[in-house]
């Protein structure tokens, strides 16, 4: 393998370290500091001239700080004469603002894409975008990797007696159907009406869940309101058990308490975002091998899609 350098922002350095171990390399040093007024300071402490570089930085909370740090790192690397700059953003913040859902609102996901390109990246790599069309917001290669490979294997290991896949809303049906097809399970849909941001009301179950072991699948879990309410309705409709598989554990506000004290039997997430250790009823799967293998293949001009063909 020709040489390249791997860098990490401050959002999830443990994840970046695991990716480095997968690739058999260390994460390169960069000084990341803040001035007393909160401004971010970055210094690349070794030469990257003529090198391909990969920066691992999910834009999770604190979202704006992590995004700004990523942009400043990109600028520092560009001014250090890096050959190519690849932004590896396991969790892409602002992805929920992907369209004009109301009058006079921004399309922030597009704005973030423009900022990243203007800063100087040549490629972006992410996992399970909230909306797949965000790939089209970039005028450079954008690889949206599938986290389902982690969860499908985990679901199989559970040896559930009467499993069925559930989408927590109409918008997630395509994702849920992918899981159902890979596992050979049937599919039901939770139909809900969203009242306002971060709050949702479960309305109805489309399909029969009597005696079923239900697996809710989604790209992210934020306050966990949707999942817990969905689990309540599913069990009211006769479900034997309800687990949820969500790629990105945003887990803001009351999320941990809702999961711990609600009827949801298990929440399975990945480590694209740092989470509390040993949180009650939460299982964390690691996605470092997906990112690591994608980086290896991109750098060697191999197919990325073939990672998910088996």
Q: What residue spans define the domains of the chain?
A: 4-146+289-308, 148-285
Domains 4-146+289-308 and 148-285 share a fold: yes
177 labeled part of a ligand binding site: no
**Domain 4-146+289-308 top-level CATH class:** alpha beta
Q: How sure is the predictor about 308, in pLDDT bands with cuts at 50, 70 and 90?
A: confident
Dump the DSSP string for the chain.
Answer: ---EEEEE-SS-HHHHHHHHHHHT-PPPPEEEEE-TTS-EEEEE-S--BT-EEEEE----SSHHHHHHHHHHHHHHHHHTTBSEEEEEESS-TTTT--S--STT---HHHHHHHHHHHHT-SEEEEES-SSGGGGGG-SS-EEEE-THHHHHHHHHHH--SSEEEEESSGGGHHHHHHHHHHHT--EEEEEEEEEETTEEEEEEEES--TT-EEEEEEEEESSSHHHHHHHHHHHHTT-SEEEEEEEEE---TTHHHHHHHSS--EEEEESSS---TT-TTEEEE--HHHHHHHHHHHHTT--SGGGG--
Residue 222 assigned ligand-binding role: yes
The model's pLDDT over 143-162, given as tens digits with 9 standing for 90+, comes to 999 999 999 999 999 999 99
The verdict on whether residue 97 carries a ligand-binding annotation is: yes
Mind listing the pLDDT tens digit for each residue in 238-263?
999 999 999 999 999 999 999 999 99
Hey, which residues are catalytic here? 192
Q: pTM to 2 decimals?
A: 0.94
Pick the CATH number of 148-285 from 3.40.50.300, 1.10.260.40, 3.30.460.90, 3.40.50.2020: 3.40.50.2020
Q: Is 207 annotated as a binding residue?
A: no
299 carries a ligand binding annotation: no
Q: Is the pLDDT of residue 194 over 90?
A: no
Find out whether 37 is annotated in a ligand binding site: yes
pLDDT number for residue 45: 97
């Amino acid at each position: 393998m020709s040489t390249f350098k791997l860098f990490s922002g401050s959002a999830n350095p443990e994840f970046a370290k695991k990716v480095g171990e997968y690739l058999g390399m260390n994460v390169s040093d960069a000084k990341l500091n803040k001035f007393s007024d909160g401004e971010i300071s970055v210094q690349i402490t070794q030469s990257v001239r003529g090198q391909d570089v990969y920066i691992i930085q999910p834009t999770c909370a604190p979202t704006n700080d992590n995004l700004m740090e990523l942009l400043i790192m990109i600028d520092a690397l560009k001014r250090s004469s890096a050959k190519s700059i690849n932004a590896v953003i396991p969790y892409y913040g602002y992805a929920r603002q992907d369209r004009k859902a109301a009058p006079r609102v921004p399309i922030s996901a597009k704005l973030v894409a423009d900022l990243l390109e203007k800063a100087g990246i040549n490629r972006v790599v992410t996992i399970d975008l909230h909306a797949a069309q965000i790939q089209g917001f970039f005028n450079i290669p954008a690889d949206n990797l599938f986290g389902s490979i982690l969860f499908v294997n985990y679901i199989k290991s559970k040896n559930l007696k009467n499993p069925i896949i559930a989408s927590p809303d109409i918008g997630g049906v395509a994702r849920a159907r992918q899981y159902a097809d890979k596992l050979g399970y049937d599919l039901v849909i939770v139909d809900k009406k969203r009242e306002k941001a971060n709050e949702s009301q479960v309305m109805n179950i489309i399909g029969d869940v009597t005696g079923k072991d239900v697996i809710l699948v989604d790209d992210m879990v934020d306050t966990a309101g949707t999942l817990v309410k969905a689990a309540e309705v599913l069990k009211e409709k006769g479900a034997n058990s309800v687990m949820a598989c969500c790629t990105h554990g945003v887990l803001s506000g009351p999320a941990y308490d809702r999961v711990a004290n609600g009827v949801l039997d298990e929440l399975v997430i990945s480590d694209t975002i740092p989470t509390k250790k040993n949180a009650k009823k939460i299982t964390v799967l690691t996605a470092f091998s997906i990112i690591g293998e994608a980086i290896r293949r991109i750098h060697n001009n191999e197919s990325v899609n073939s990672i998910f063909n088996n």
